[in-house]
Structure 1
Amino acid sequence: MRYLLLCLLLASLPAAAQVYTYIDAEGNRVFTDKPRQGNAELIQLAPSNGMHSLISEPPPAVAPPSASALSYQMLRILVPQPDATIRDNAGNLIVTATSEPALHSGHSFRLLLDGQATGESGRSPVFPLENIDRGTHQLAVEIVDAQGRTLERTPNQPLHMLRSSLAQKRLVRPCKQDDYGVRLECPLKDKPAAKQDIPFVPFI
């Protein structure tokens, strides 16, 4: 029993504390951490064994995705094909692009026509264009981040837009009297004066 009490006492004391023992007036052995004048003896304690803490350490912080993890292996224009010729008198065209992998969060597509952005960037890779001037143009598609910085860009791709001129339209479909002021290629300023009927005068 005394040895059990001694073990419990030693376990509850700090590692640097000292233990004393003595016989009290009733003949019982007493253990204490306070020195006592008289017959108290200092007990030499063996160094305690180290013990690792049972409290688990927090998991390491997960690093944000690197720039290489958000890169793209491929970005290209699907429609129209390079050096395509588009025949549309209104100058309308739909451009479609694709990327591999798919667009990452926070990124968007942007279309460039002759080096200038057309409209706002967005998540859709489909860009409808209207009233493109006749002639040769350069198309390119970019992937940009939330700050508008270019991450990927396709090479410039030539496009040829064919639109009939007003003169060509008048040759294909000549202007009639009622067309002036109605058809774009038949302005009112070009409307010929109406022929006046010459009254019939009987010969006498």
Structure 2
Amino acid sequence: MPRLLLLLLLLSPLLATAQVYKHVDQDGNVTFSDIPAPGSEKIDVPVSNTVAAPPVVSRPQEEPADALVSYQVAISSPEPEAVIPRGPGNFSVTVTVSPAPDTSMQLQLFMDGDAYGAPQSQLQWNLTNVPRGTHQVQVAIVDSEGETLAQSDPITVYVRRPSKNF
């Protein structure tokens, strides 16, 4: 069946240019065909109106200004696998960003996958009273709608604090 349909589609331009014949039988039934029958008359079918398609004009897609800039975010402090010594669990996170983000963009710190505080424009966070244990730290550039434009690779830090058990 699909082959027959394909054949008909391929032959349809030829059918459009074929002759048409009109035949009226003894009961008055009218039949149109491309094959002449005895007593049939040739019908002149006018050429159908055709209009050429307008030329395709390709215009370059305009990209949002934010999409044209590729930001690089990296945590410069603390070092990956850093051990925060015994104490109250205080340390700073510092990042470098290139190129400098637009004023409508801010930096969001993530600790263990959760947003830590509100987004800010400063490149440093002073963390206090971080619980003991292993933590993943990451920073992202977010636009005014909160969409992430770029993010740093996560780093692992180990916080050592006195335990109540000891």
CA 1:160–1:66 in 2, change beyond 3 Å: closer, same or farther?
A: same
- Distance, in Å, in 2 between the alignment partners of 1:105 and 1:70 is 14
> What aligned pairs does 1:126-165 form with structure 2 within 5 A after superposition?
126-165=124-163
**TM-score, length basis structure 1:** 0.48
> Which fold has the larger relative contact order, with Cα–Cα distance below 8 Å and residues 6 or more apart in sequence?
2
- Distance, in Å, in 1 between the alignment partners of 2:63 and 2:103 is 14
Between stretches 110-119 and 97-106, larger displacement belongs to 97-106
Percent of paired sites with the same residue: 34
Counterpart secondary structure, 2:118? coil
Q: Of 163, 166, 177, which residue of structure 1 is paired with 2:164?
A: 166
**1:118 maps onto 2:149 in alignment:** no
Q: Could you list the per-position Cα deviations for residues 116-151 of structure 1 after superposition, in whole angstroms to 9, with x for gaps in the alignment? A: 111110110111111111110100000000011110
- Distance, in Å, in 2 between the alignment partners of 1:92 and 1:158 is 15
5+ residue gaps, structure 1 = 1-62, 169-204
**Contact 1:110/1:142 (CA < 8 Å) preserved in 2?**
yes
Aligned amino acid, residue 149 of structure 2: L
Please provide the CA RMSD for this pair: 1.8
**Contact 1:82/1:158 (CA < 8 Å) preserved in 2?**
yes
Q: Tell me which residue corresponds to 1:75.
A: 73
- Distance, in Å, in 2 between the alignment partners of 1:78 and 1:67 is 24
- Distance, in Å, in 2 between the alignment partners of 1:80 and 1:117 is 18
- Distance, in Å, in 1 between the alignment partners of 2:162 and 2:66 is 48
- Distance, in Å, in 1 between the alignment partners of 2:144 and 2:130 is 29
Aligned amino acid, residue 66 of structure 1: A
**TM-score, length basis structure 2:** 0.58
Counterpart secondary structure, 1:89? coil
Q: Tell me which residue corresponds to 1:14.
A: none
Larger radius of gyration: 1
- Distance, in Å, in 2 between the alignment partners of 1:105 and 1:71 is 16
Aligned amino acid, residue 139 of structure 1: V
Total equivalences in the alignment: 105
**Contact 1:108/1:123 (CA < 8 Å) preserved in 2?**
yes
Counterpart secondary structure, 1:118? strand
Q: Tell me which residue corresponds to 2:104.
A: 106
